[in-house]
Chain A
């Protein structure tokens, strides 16, 4: 085995070990989980919907930074991807329902990304007051980061695997996050002689859990294109994607059934990606912007082929 391959394998092994250490065994109920339990199946929807939208967009980002795939031969690559979805102002508040019979029947209050929860007085009996919880996450970009492994090539195809478990953060305010994903892509340009661009098509599946309450599943298909100019790589693509967030917990709201089991659909369905990368031997540096219902940015470094 070549010394460079040895170096790369040692590096990948180190990353796997460090990732394993990062896996948290924390299972205590976090502030987020306890906050959600104050909502019933109907009222939680608006509070948490931005999470479905933003996580949904995050987990499909950063899968490729080059559409070139070798026709055959073993190749290994390791990437660290950081992605972030832009939190829009409209995602910081929502129109919530007041309890049954309350007047007014709705009020505007903070989502999980909002500021202070709104308090509202009943207009018929002013002594009666109801309030929504404050926002928990204060950010303009909702980030995620994940390491991924690329393995190829067989018949012009490669495999991408990603996994990470992030411990509870913010003094146990936000629960353990576990993400895994798998993707397969196939070179299209190998069938087109003298094609000026590298072309590929990919299929991806992602699973993402946040604590014991939230379970995301996502699916994406995309068409990728890239052009290498010396060390510079220009890449982009279009994608169709869907994501769903299942939320399961026992509500403490006495005005509604305790069992909550709902599924929210992420807002992002189509994604247009433009990106640029540098290929510096085994080191790759890349960044891209993704446009759709949710605007998302991703960037990273890669090692290997």
Chain B
């Protein structure tokens, strides 16, 4: 009988081995990507513009929503999809209607994403929009229903062909306290 009790005890330990060595509170750096694309209508005016409203909570795992401690961004990118042989003039990206980037140059150069991190000469950051982005991220820490409006505009040198779009992407992270109940 004693042997059986000992066995049950040991197997109980097996089933729980390690439970005390998991950190109670650990922060997971969670990816928070935000992006939007402006589809350019073929044959229409060479000017293009568009906006998209994003609910930040939809960009991450729902279980992290009430556990966010910090938020930050680490890159901004502009890129295009579709084949074209023209130039983009006077391109602008906005966060909640606050300008965050100016961009312009040959269409083909934007088929490779132009980013702050790559120190691209084809994009210029604007502190007005950067401050707004920081404000949105800080708001998200306490308000899971935070939404952000990303928008963009610009002009092509000549009328668009089919299947063209200009995209704007923000790469951000939030720290989620995975140990929080």
Contact = CB atoms under 8 A, between A and B. Distances in A.
Interface of A: 11, 14-15, 18-19, 22, 31, 34-35, 38, 80, 82, 99-103, 116-117, 119, 122, 124-125, 127-139, 143-147, 164, 166-167, 169-171, 173-174, 252-255, 301, 303
B79 to A, nearest CB: 12
Contacts of A119: 72
Contact of A125 (B35, B60, B64, B116): B116
Contacts of A146: 14
B31 to A, nearest CB: 5
Interface of B is mostly: mixed
Contacts of B13: 82, 145
B117 A99 contact: yes
Contacts of A18: 7-8, 11
A122 B16 CA distance: 43
A34 B63 contact: yes
A11 B8 CA distance: 10
B74 A129 contact: yes
Q: Chain A CB within 10 Å — which of B21, B134, B178 has the most?
A: B21
A99 B74 CA distance: 8
28 contacts: A11-B7, A14-B8, A18-B8, A22-B14, A31-B28, A38-B29, A38-B30, A82-B13, A99-B75, A100-B118, A101-B115, A101-B117, A103-B117, A130-B72, A131-B175, A133-B26, A134-B28, A137-B18, A138-B22, A139-B21, A143-B18, A145-B13, A147-B11, A169-B16, A170-B18, A254-B31, A254-B171, A303-B3
Contacts, number: 147
Given A15-B11, A19-B11, A31-B178, A101 B23 contact: no
A14 B6 CA distance: 12
Contacts of B70: 131
Interface residues of B, number: 48
B178 A34 contact: yes
Contact of A130 (B3, B116, B169, B173): B173
B48 to A, nearest CB: 23
A15 B130 CA distance: 62
Contact of B17 (A35, A100, A117, A145): A145
A15 B7 CA distance: 7
A128 B173 CA distance: 11
B119 interface: yes
Contact of B23 (A19, A131, A134, A253): A134
Given A131-B29, A136-B26, A80 B14 contact: yes
Contact of A173 (B22, B33, B134, B173): B22
Contacts of A139: 18, 21
Nearest to A255: B171
Given A127-B130, A137-B18, A146-B14, 17 more contacts: A14-B4, A15-B7, A18-B7, A18-B11, A38-B30, A38-B31, A80-B10, A100-B117, A122-B74, A125-B116, A128-B74, A131-B70, A134-B23, A139-B18, A145-B13, A173-B22, A252-B33
A238 to B, nearest CB: 28
Given A129-B72, A146-B14, A173 B178 contact: yes
